[in-house]
Every structure is written in C-alpha cells, then in structure tokens.
Structure 1
Amino acid sequence: MNQSQQELYQRFRGAFTALITPMKENGDVDFEGWRKLVKFQIDEGINGLVPMGTTGETPTLDDDEEEKLIRIALEEIRGRVPVIIGAGSNSTKHMVGYVKRAKDLGADAALVVTPYYNKPNDSGLIKHFEAAAAVGIPVVIYNIAGRTGKNIPVQLMKKLAEIPGIIGVKEASGDITQMGDIIREIALPGKAAGKPFTVLSGDDSFTLPLIALGGDGVVSVISNLIPKKIAALTKACLEGNFEEGRKLHYELLPFAKTAFIETNPVPIKAAMNWAGLPAGPARLPLGPLASGSVAPLRTVVEGLGFTLKE
C-alpha cells in the first residue's frame, strides 16, 4: 500500500457522526443550531462527520437547504476531520448530481446508498456505483436493506469494491456474519494487496464486534448526543484495548438499543432536545415520539449522566 493509499485508508477510520438536521418548531431548518452541532462534534473529539444521510432527514430537505447545510458544515470544520456527504438517490442521474455537488463544495467523500424502491438488479447496481465513482471523489457504499428493500450480498460487494474510487462500505445490513465475510473476503485481502477497503458499522450496537472482526469504525447515530464516548469506544477497539472497549460497549448498549425504539431520528432528536442541544422536531411524515416511548428513553439517557429538560 503506497503512502497516499495508506493516508486515505486511515482518514476514513474511527467514529463518524451521522448528523441530525435541527429544525425549528415551524418546520424550518435551524441553521444556527446546525452550526452549533457541528462545533459541538468537533470540540468533543469526533473523528468525522456524515451530514445529509438518513439521520439528517434528507428525504424531506430541498436542494437549497442541503447546499446551505453542507456549506456551513465545511466552513466550521475547516478540514479538521473528514466529511462524508450523503449523496444517494434512487435515480442514478440525480445521484451523480449530488456526488458532483459534494465534490464541488469540498467534501472528502460521498456516501451513496443502494437505490431504494427500484430494487435494481446486479448489472444496474454496478453501473449505478460506477457512475458515482466516475465523478472523481471517494465513494462509500451505504448498504441498508431495511431502508432500501435490497441487500448487497458479499459476492456483489466484491465486484463493487473493484471499481476504482469505491473506498469502502457503511454496513447496516444488521447481519454480523455478512459484515465478517465482507471483512474477511474483501477488506483484509485488499489491505494486504495495497487496495484498502474501509468497513464501517452502520449500527451503533455492532461497533465493537465489527472492529473485533477487523472492521474500521462506525457511522453513529447516538454520537449526536455522546460523541466523546463513541470516539473513546472506537479508539479503544481499534487499538486492541477490548477490555476498555467492552466496558464502554456495555455502558452505551442500552442507549444504542433504545435510540431505535422508534424510527430514526425521532428518538435521538428527542434525547438531544431534553439534553439542551438544538434538534427540534422531525419533519413529516415523521411524527413526534410516542408517549409510551418517552419514559424508557428518558431513563436510559439519564443513566448516562444527563440532567434532562421536560
């Protein structure tokens, strides 16, 4: 692996936050709140940021809102940590436009999700990701069958990993066996051959087991509230300190589970509001947290040491 490839690989390892998009009570984007959240993440030592993803409610944002959010984030970050911009669409043409936007605005990489609803066949999926990589910015695949209706199996992921410019995957299949197979059959041989392929967990609860199998970190939801803790967990595991990693894993596991008691990002935004961070409501069609979910979520967040607002 030459030096530039090694630097690229190291840059996309660690704890990345899938940023929420704060809203005002009237449903407008809270741009000043967004600026505060980006600063908070950097100050707390997160390794990287992923704006404009699922957690950021991009299906309900318009292009002007997204571009302003990206510009503010990059202005605040100033190259201190890598930024992977969500650039997915179920239209290849639209996706390419979003990847170009990420490149033109100065992002470090683009996160491209499996096209949803269409359920593309393998040949179409390969061409979709070839089109993304052709833009000329590093591309991270986002594999999440629960949101898209299509899983990318290991053999197809092998073909996608061979596309120049595809540098890794955010694996949110929920299948730790599949994650392990991707690491064993793609990432580890790639690293040995000087062609690194980063594997990041898309599920907070799988951070430790994924890294134990040879993975590289996490794109975290709960780090919106506790970035320092998630960075510490990831660092301990990547350094092979699994005694400390297990301690943090079990400390944070109840929150990692309860933060998905309802559709993401409804619970994490509620927790952030209670803790005094700018989050606001989710946009329709996502409604407020159900009354039956309030007590268990508040109990878990208070257990992390937060004094919560009503």
Structure 2
Amino acid sequence: MDQSQQEFCAKLRGAFTALVTPLKENGDVDYEGFRKLINFQIDEGINGLVPLGTTGETPTLDDEEEEKLIRIAIEEIKGRVPVIIGAGSNSTKHMTEYVKRAKENGADAALVVTPYYNKPNDSGLIKHFEAAAAVGIPVMIYNIASRTGRNIPVGLMKRLAEIPGIIGVKEASGDINQMGDIIREISIPRKAAGNPFVVVSGDDGLTLPLIALGGDGVISVISNLIPKKIAAMTKALLEGNFEEGRRLHYELLSLAKTAFIETNPAPIKAAMNWAGIPVGPTRLPLGPLAPSSEPPLRAVLEQLGFKLK
C-alpha cells in the first residue's frame, strides 16, 4: 500500500452516511434535495458520505441518474469529507464499469458489494474483487449476506484483503463473532505493519461492539436523520470514552432497530419526511410503510425530541 492510500485509510475512521436518494412525489430524482442533504450532513459533522449504496435505492436508478448524482456529490462535497461511491453489481463487467465511473468522477473510493443472486464460489469472488481493485481506485468490500445470499467468511476475507487496492470492509453480516475475527486476524496485524485494513460496521446497532473490538466506525443509515448524534457517538467510542459512547448508543438504539421495521430505506425516508427533512417516497418495488409500522417509528422519533409533521 502506498503512502497516499495509507493516509486515506486513516481518514476512514468515524461515521459515514449511506445517503438516501431524495425523490420527488412523481418519482423523479430530486437533485436539489440531494445537494441540500449533502450539505446538511457535512454541516452536522459527519465524517464521510456514501452515495449510491443500497440505501440510495440504486437498483431502481438508471445510469443517467446515477451519473448525475455522482457529479453532484463530488461537486458539493468539494473534498470536505471522503466520498465512497457505491459501485456494486452482480455482473463483474458492469461492476468494473461502475468503479471506473467512480474513479473518473473523482471519488475517493468505491464500495463493491458481494455479487447478489449469483452466489459466486470463492474463486469467482476473488476474480471479481481483483477486477475491482485493478481499476486503480481504493475499494472497500461490502459484505451483507442478508441482501446477497453469500457471506464472505474470515478465511476468504483474508485472501481478498491481500489484493492490492482492497482497503477494507463494510461488515454487515450481523455476526459480531465474525466481525471480531476479521479485526483480530486481519485489521490489527495489518495496522501494526503500516498496511491498514479498515473495518466498519454496516449495522447501526453494532457500532459500539465493533469499535470496542478494534473496528473503525460505521457506514450508517440512521445518520441520514441524526448525523451529529452518530458522529458524536462514534467519536466518543474511537477516543475510548465508552461511558459517553454507551450513553449515546442506548439513546439511539431504539431508532437503530425501528429504522429497519421494514425494508431499508422505506422507514428512514418516512422518518426524515416526518422530521422536516424532505426526501420524498421510495421507488417501486419498495412501497410506502404499512400503516401498522408508522406508530412505533413515530413514537421513537418523538422520544428523541422530534416534532413530527
């Protein structure tokens, strides 16, 4: 790993927001709303931004919309925080094109998810991530078996971590034992050798235990709504102030749970709209929240002090 990548990895500590994509009521992308959301996040102290992830509803965005969102993100962020562009696909050819697109538009890194639906074998996964890294931009693996049907176990993650240009993993396996083993067997030795491998949580509710085990932070969904709180919690934990970090963890835990009462990002978008941060509806096939899901989510937001519309 060269000096510039080492310095970049040092910046990948803290709270990053997996940005929602604001939509108008007619379903068109709200590009002005996207600009406002980016600036709201940075003004509130978030450490980095991740556009075009699953939370950004990329399965339903077309190439032209994605291109424009990337350009706006780079334009608005202006280097103030690192930007990691979602560039995953279950086609290696398409994924490579998306990683190139991220690089050409000036992203700091690309987030590449395990290929979904195909359920590739180990040799296929290695070739897939080799192709991503060969583009020449830092690549973070996104491991989320609940979405993809394919977990990356520790032994395979070790092999992927050896690929030059693979700088870390967004771990959303939900398995804290696996997360701990990745940190203990890959991240800690790599950091000691001056060759960092970043491990961030992909689950808001597991940020505290992941950092306690030696992890680096979170790519958060609920920070779309509460970036200042998530940044403060993560900062406290990374600085070893576990009393304050634990206090914030428990304060926010109900939201971390209830924000997934239905498929992400439907609940967080509803919560943001109610709280006065207009991001519009989701796109089909994600429909509006079921009536039974609204009361518990609204109750959690009111407990956090939001005055809801």
**TM-score where L is the length of structure 2:** 0.99
Deviation at 1:278, TM superposition (A): 2.0
Matches within 5 A, 1:32-181: 32-181=32-181
Measure how far apart 1:195 and its partner are: 1.2
CA distance in 2, matches of 1:285, 1:2: 43
Give a deviation string over 1:227-277, Cα, whole Å, max 9, x none.
000000000000000000000000000000000000000000000000111
Distance 1:17 1:8 in 2: 17
Change (3 A) 1:208 1:22: same
SS at match of 1:170: strand
Listed as ranges, the matches of 1:172-191 within 5 Å are 172-191=172-191
How far has the Cα of 1:5 moved from its partner? 4.7
Question: Cα distance, 1:136 vs. partner?
Answer: 0.2
* Counterpart in the other structure of 1:246: 246
Shift of 1:305: 1.1
> Over residues 43-85 of structure 1, what are the superposed CA-to-partner deviations in whole Å (9 max), with x where a residue is unaligned?
0000000000000000000000011011111111100000000
Q: TM-score, normalised by structure 1?
A: 0.98
Q: Give the paired residue count.
A: 309
Aligned-pair identity (%): 83
State whether structure 2 residue 214 is matched by structure 1 residue 214.
yes
In structure 1, the gaps of 5 or more residues are none
- Pairwise CA distance, 1:193: 1.4
Q: CA deviation at 1:3?
A: 5.3
- Structure 1 residue 2, shift from structure 2 partner: 7.7
Match of 1:289 in 2: 289
**Could you tell me how far apart the structure 2 residues matched to 1:178 and 1:113 are?**
17
User: Matched residue of 2:280: which SS?
Assistant: coil
Deviations, residues 82-114 of structure 1 (Å, cap 9, x unaligned) = 000000000000000000000000000000000
CA distance in 1, matches of 2:6, 2:96: 27
Distance 1:8 1:29 in 2: 31
Distance 1:151 1:86 in 2: 19
Q: Does the 8 Å contact 1:34/1:278 carry over to 2?
A: no
1:200 alignment partner in structure 2: 200
Q: 1:99·1:132 contact (CA, 8 Å) conserved in 2?
A: yes
Please give the alpha-carbon distance, in whole angstroms, between the structure 2 residues aligned to 1:76 and 1:24: 20
Q: Amino acid of the residue matched to residue 48 of structure 2?
A: G
User: Shift of residue 4 of structure 1?
Assistant: 3.7
